[in-house]
Amino acid sequence: ARITLRQLLDHAADNGYAVPAFNISNMEQGMAVMRAAADCDAPVILQASRGARAYAGDRVLARLIDGFAETYPDIPVCMHLDHGNNLATCVTAIQHGFTSVMMDGSLEADGKTPANYAYNAGITRQVVDMAHAAGVSVEGELGVLGSLETGMGDQEDGHGATEKLSEDQLLTDPAEAERFVADTGVDALAVAMGTSHGAYKFTRKPDGSVLAMNVIEAIHARLPNTHLVMHGSSSVPEDLQEIINSYGGDIRPTWGVPVEEIQRGIKSGVRKVNIDTDNRLAMTAAVRKALTNDPSEFDPRKYLKPAMELMAQVCRDRFEAFGTAGHA
Ligand code: G3H
Ligand code: 13P
Ligand code: NA
Ligand code: ZN
């Protein structure tokens, strides 16, 4: 059954767990999430970026979600727009059946320029008014994702701030967060504390100097009833890097967000945890391995099936680690 982000995260808060939000852009990724959810008896957040919507098309995406929800009638499904950048993107997502939208006003509509407070609060308020009238939830974002090591935004996957960012921009200010939630009425708030999108987040296992989980704790102290969202929360598992590299890939040594740090966040109000990269790595690892092991094979099902299976394993691991399992 369909569920809004607000309904899902209220239940998560009442029961002290978080829900991983997995990005999908095709059938295989969606099936991997749904199979893992059924195995774990977990509710799901399927999210599509603007890039995913352009890739699959809104009509196909909408019908995929219908198919998933009908196939797994006992799994609550929240369909969420990831990183909407203007009112129109959010409106068209709702027209296509999304039950939740993110208005990311931390950057201007170009997706690169850090926005000022008035712009962010103003556009987010507009989206909240529109979405709530339609019974749809809204996630906002305050603070710009990027690396505290380099001061750079998300260079790797081609979106995010491209200028060097100050620590003030990279870490959400707790007092401003309190004001933002009051000004906008968002259902969930994404915060910045040193994570960035993509595989290349940290050059070594992160400590408190580059991954500022204390910022989340400070925000939670001021906003104990606000559902917090962690973006850029892939763990970038070493074993997946190794499979890719041993079958002809080229992933430079890199670190993601350790699962234990996310679990620390869940103790401080984190209820939605965004994960895309880990699943991309899993599928790529399995496809590389399958194609290398049987170079004569050319039926896509023969390499996409193991890809789905490895991605589903990543999803099951996260459902277990975040406490989502058993809450469908
Ligand atoms: O926000 C980041 C997600 O990983 C989506 O990435 O824009 O390449 O689809 P994308
Ligand atoms: P990762 O790149 O760490 O998987 O983050 C995904 C994300 O935040 C999507 O919004
Ligand atoms: Na999002
Ligand atoms: Zn994100």
The reported pTM is 0.98
**Residue 173 known to be catalytic:** no
Q: Where in the chain does DSSP place strands (E)?
A: 19-23, 44-49, 77-84, 100-103, 137-142, 188-191, 227-230, 270-275
Q: Express as a percent the part of the chain with pLDDT over 90.
A: 95
Q: 190-237 pLDDT, tens per residue? A: 999 999 999 999 999 999 999 999 999 999 999 999 999 999 999 999
Pocket of ligand 1 (CB under 6 A): 23, 49, 51-52, 82-83, 157, 159, 197, 276
Residue 158: per-residue pLDDT: 54
> What's residue 155's pLDDT?
61
| pLDDT of 159 | 66
23-49 confidence digits (pLDDT tens)? 999 999 999 999 999 999 999 999 999
Q: How confident is the model at residue 153 (pLDDT cuts 50, 70, 90)?
A: confident
This model of the complex carries an ipTM of 0.98
Ligand 2 contacts CB of residue 172 (under 6 A): no
For the chain, the structural domain boundaries read 5-321
Residue 159 and residue 144: Cα distance in Å, rounded?
12
CATH class of 5-321: alpha beta
Residues with a beta carbon under 5 angstroms from ion ligand 4: 231, 274
Burial of 110 (0-12, 13-18, 19+ CB in 10 A): exposed
Q: Catalytic: which of 41, 58, 82, 299?
A: 82
CA-nearest residue for atom 6, ligand 1, is 49
Query: What value does the mean pLDDT of the chain take?
Result: 97
- How much of the chain exceeds pLDDT 70, in percent? 98
Cα of 198 to ligand 4 centre, how many Å?
9
